[in-house]
Chains A and B, each alone.
Chain A
């Protein structure tokens, strides 16, 4: 089943191939009008809620717009201001990059480590999988972000615990140095979703490879590097792309932990938080649109780079053509 998961990154190229050689199973569509009827809700949504807004937000990003008066064309002014005249924007970029670069690897390493342990368990694995996955569902809720805020607050459990062994932090949430780590911890805590995907990938690796490796006298580390990692690389790639995109857009945790302000001293001013603030608190809609497009371009660039490097390290078993 897991190969379906892996098809997704390459999915964009897939239909073109199928279109060239229509197969019998599609003959229900011999009246194409009917297909468009089935698709009509989606087509309406794509036009009105996706393509239209995309073009509109691209246009708005070149304007001064406050939601109440007509947009004024200002050319590249918004973009210029972002990068040369707005220290808070640069701060939000820094915070977000730090968050993505710290939380994504930590989350994936935790997910892989636990998945590998779970893969060796025969009894009770269903229970374990569910228990490890639970935080992934609960953690998206604002309620859990509040728990994090309370636990890491001044005089909170973590602060008190550290004080007991002589480390005085004065609370992580209020500290510009550590506040971001609270949100990182919240993200890493939700390692269950990638873990479940890793586990499905591990189950697909043929036992013969491990047997052969053990006959060759390979130790644990060697086997991990030469069998597990390459065989798992498509799943690692998939999780990496998804978690990166996800991390770039995270909002709820930062909003709740920082009380909606990205503090202390902008140390948790996530990109999306600053975007929201510009658009819906200060009604600088044109400026926020420019931010949204900058985000889109960065995510597209990062994804493209990941896909580019994937040729070197992602190994698809039994398919040398890819």
Chain B
């Protein structure tokens, strides 16, 4: 042990320690806003704005009690339930529809595969704003404004081409001998999908599920457009209600509500951080 330590020059060891210190300092600066938010949620409202210190002069829970009292006559649990419903619906929709489409693109042969695949890739680059207004009129004519459907139905129809592409890439990487073996064993394409390809694609499907959940939970623009009455509001939209109550006295509730909005994402991050980072580096999915 001593010989190994001695073999590393002192200068290099110092440099290595400095590197680690620099990284940790950078992380502290980076995560300071998050720490400040959490600390502020326990501060008296008057201290929130100017206090750079993380430690409150006295810990209060009144910000949270104010939030849990609800806003606009709707309870926070309702907002959380709405968000959860939309996110879970989106996860189910994306996993089912994207894996079906991906299987066809990756493992099946059909005449229109080339053009369809090219079109699918093209839609990844398409700004949502081009589709926003006609989609709004469609959902309006279906009487779906102010319901969860405009936010879940598109996922059931595999509109998140990003995930199709990611699963296709994954499925293409599966050994083709597996398909041949399944075929010899008498599996048709449907059974090969259900019993061979799908179970092996679990890493890609899990990544899809986690990212879909987080993106749906964070989503703002489409929820802002489709949800109009407080009873259907999600967490980010409810946050807006707290913002609109102007004045210093309402900062407390706003900050506490922000913490609650971030909580599920933070929990997902802690639970799946390895998977998330891997998903980004192998497929280019962004935060």
Tell me the A residues contacting B by CB distance below 8 Å. Answer: 1-2, 4-5, 7-8, 11-16, 18-19, 22-32, 34-36, 38-39, 41-46, 48-50, 52-54, 56-57, 60, 67, 114, 117-118, 120-121, 123-124, 126, 128-144, 146-148, 150-151, 153, 155-157, 160-161, 189-190, 192-194, 196-197, 199-200, 238, 242, 245-246, 248-249, 251-252, 255-256, 259, 272, 275-276, 279-280, 285, 288-289, 291-293, 295-296, 299-300, 303
**Cα distance A150–B172 in the bound complex, in angstroms:** 47
Q: Which residue of A lies closest to B96 (CB)?
A: A41
Minimum-distance CB pairs A-B, first 3: A136-B287, A45-B157, A29-B108
Q: Which residue of A lies closest to B153 (CB)?
A: A49
Contact A272 to B129, CB < 8 A, known contacts A4-B283, A131-B31: yes
CB-defined contacts of B259 to chain A, threshold 8 Å? 143
> How far in angstroms is the closest Cβ of chain A from B175?
9
Residue contact A132 to B30, C-beta cutoff 8 Å: yes
> How far in angstroms is the closest Cβ of chain A from B144?
13
Residue contact B49 to A136, C-beta cutoff 8 Å: no
Residue contact B243 to A259, C-beta cutoff 8 Å: yes
Residue contact A138 to B19, C-beta cutoff 8 Å: no
CB-defined contacts of B22 to chain A, threshold 8 Å? 117
One of A121, A142, A197, A259 near B19 (C-beta < 8 A): A121
Residue contact B277 to A130, C-beta cutoff 8 Å: yes
**Cα distance A19–B113 in the bound complex, in angstroms:** 8
> How far in angstroms is the closest Cβ of chain A from B89?
14
Q: Which residue of B lies closest to A140 (CB)?
A: B218
One of A136, A143, A279 near B261 (C-beta < 8 A): A143
**Cα distance A226–B137 in the bound complex, in angstroms:** 54
Question: Does B103 count as interface, using CB distance less than 8 angstroms?
Answer: yes
CB-defined contacts of A28 to chain B, threshold 8 Å? 107-109, 179, 183, 189, 192
Residue contact B108 to A60, C-beta cutoff 8 Å: no
Question: Does B176 count as interface, using CB distance less than 8 angstroms?
Answer: yes
Question: Does B265 count as interface, using CB distance less than 8 angstroms?
Answer: yes
Residue contact B133 to A133, C-beta cutoff 8 Å: no
CB-defined contacts of B134 to chain A, threshold 8 Å? 52-54, 56-57, 60
Residue contact A29 to B277, C-beta cutoff 8 Å: no
**Cα distance A131–B217 in the bound complex, in angstroms:** 21
Residue contact B159 to A49, C-beta cutoff 8 Å: yes
Residue contact B129 to A29, C-beta cutoff 8 Å: no
CB-defined contacts of B27 to chain A, threshold 8 Å? 128, 131-132
Residue contact B109 to A29, C-beta cutoff 8 Å: yes
CB-defined contacts of A146 to chain B, threshold 8 Å? 239, 243, 254-255, 258
| Interface residue SS majority, chain B | helix
CB-defined contacts of A292 to chain B, threshold 8 Å? 127, 129-130, 132-133
Residue contact B108 to A1, C-beta cutoff 8 Å: no
One of A32, A249, A251 near B220 (C-beta < 8 A): A251
Q: Which residue of B lies closest to A249 (CB)?
A: B127
Q: How many A-B residue pairs lie within 8 Å, measured between CB atoms?
A: 326
Question: Does B251 count as interface, using CB distance less than 8 angstroms?
Answer: yes
Question: Does B71 count as interface, using CB distance less than 8 angstroms?
Answer: no
B125-146: which residues lie under 8 A (CB-CB) from chain A? 125-138, 140
| Interface residue SS majority, chain A | helix
> How far in angstroms is the closest Cβ of chain B from A173?
12
Contact A200 to B282, CB < 8 A, known contacts A22-B109, A26-B109, A129-B277: yes
Residue contact B118 to A279, C-beta cutoff 8 Å: no
> How far in angstroms is the closest Cβ of chain A from B136?
8
Q: Which residue of B lies closest to A51 (CB)?
A: B119
**Cα distance A300–B124 in the bound complex, in angstroms:** 12
B193-236: which residues lie under 8 A (CB-CB) from chain A? 193, 214-215, 217-218, 220-221, 224-225, 236
**Cα distance A141–B269 in the bound complex, in angstroms:** 13
CB<8 Å pairs between A and B, sample of 18: A28-B192, A29-B189, A30-B109, A39-B105, A45-B97, A45-B157, A49-B159, A50-B123, A57-B134, A130-B274, A134-B31, A138-B262, A140-B287, A142-B220, A143-B258, A146-B254, A147-B258, A153-B49
Question: Does B281 count as interface, using CB distance less than 8 angstroms?
Answer: yes
Q: Which residue of A lies closest to B52 (CB)?
A: A157
Contact A144 to B33, CB < 8 A, known contacts A29-B104, A48-B157: yes
> How far in angstroms is the closest Cβ of chain B from A202?
11
Residue contact B273 to A133, C-beta cutoff 8 Å: yes
Q: Which residue of B lies closest to A43 (CB)?
A: B116
Residue contact A39 to B126, C-beta cutoff 8 Å: no
**Cα distance A153–B40 in the bound complex, in angstroms:** 15
Residue contact A15 to B118, C-beta cutoff 8 Å: yes
Q: Which residue of B lies closest to A150 (CB)?
A: B49
One of A30, A114, A133, A289 near B277 (C-beta < 8 A): A133
Additional A-B contacts beyond A15-B115, A38-B103, A142-B220 (5; CB < 8 A): A46-B119, A131-B30, A144-B34, A155-B50, A272-B221
Q: Which residue of A lies closest to B156 (CB)?
A: A41
CB-defined contacts of B180 to chain A, threshold 8 Å? 24
Question: Does B70 count as interface, using CB distance less than 8 angstroms?
Answer: no
Question: Does B69 count as interface, using CB distance less than 8 angstroms?
Answer: no
Q: Which residue of B lies closest to A260 (CB)?
A: B240
Residue contact A15 to B269, C-beta cutoff 8 Å: no
CB-defined contacts of B52 to chain A, threshold 8 Å? 157, 160-161
CB-defined contacts of B40 to chain A, threshold 8 Å? 150
Residue contact B221 to A251, C-beta cutoff 8 Å: yes
**Cα distance A126–B274 in the bound complex, in angstroms:** 8
CB-defined contacts of A19 to chain B, threshold 8 Å? 113-114
Residue contact B277 to A117, C-beta cutoff 8 Å: no
Residue contact A53 to B138, C-beta cutoff 8 Å: yes
**Cα distance A131–B35 in the bound complex, in angstroms:** 13
**Cα distance A27–B189 in the bound complex, in angstroms:** 9
